[in-house]
Amino acid sequence: MPAAPASRPASGAPVALWKKLWLLFTVIWVVVAALNVGSIVAFSEGELEQEKALVPFVLAFLVPAVLYAVGWVWELFRRHRGERGD
């Protein structure tokens, strides 16, 4: 049995371009944020300086989640406009 193409989920439906781009952005964003957090923790001298790593750590999860929500709402908006025929 041949394997399904990598661009399609198991259901066989094509994946939207914005989701592919979001996934690429998310991987890059999380890797850069992890390097940022790691360097802050590694080179900080005190506990107070290590707390600076919390901001990039939170942003590593918050920014991709917000962007996914924006893309999802945009897709719903476009579908709704398409149904009305505008």
> Which regions in the chain score pLDDT beneath 70?
1-12, 85-86
In a domain, 74, yes or no: yes
In a domain, 5, yes or no: no
In a domain, 25, yes or no: yes
Name the pTM for this structure. 0.73
* Radius of gyration for the chain, computed over Cα atoms and rounded to the nearest angstrom: 19
The residue range of the domain holding 68 is 17-84
Number of independent structural domains in the chain: 1
> What pLDDT digit, counting tens, does each position of 7-27 carry?
555 666 788 899 999 999 999
Residue 15, phi-psi category: left (phi > 0), alpha (psi -120 to 50), beta (remainder): beta
* DSSP label at residue 14: P
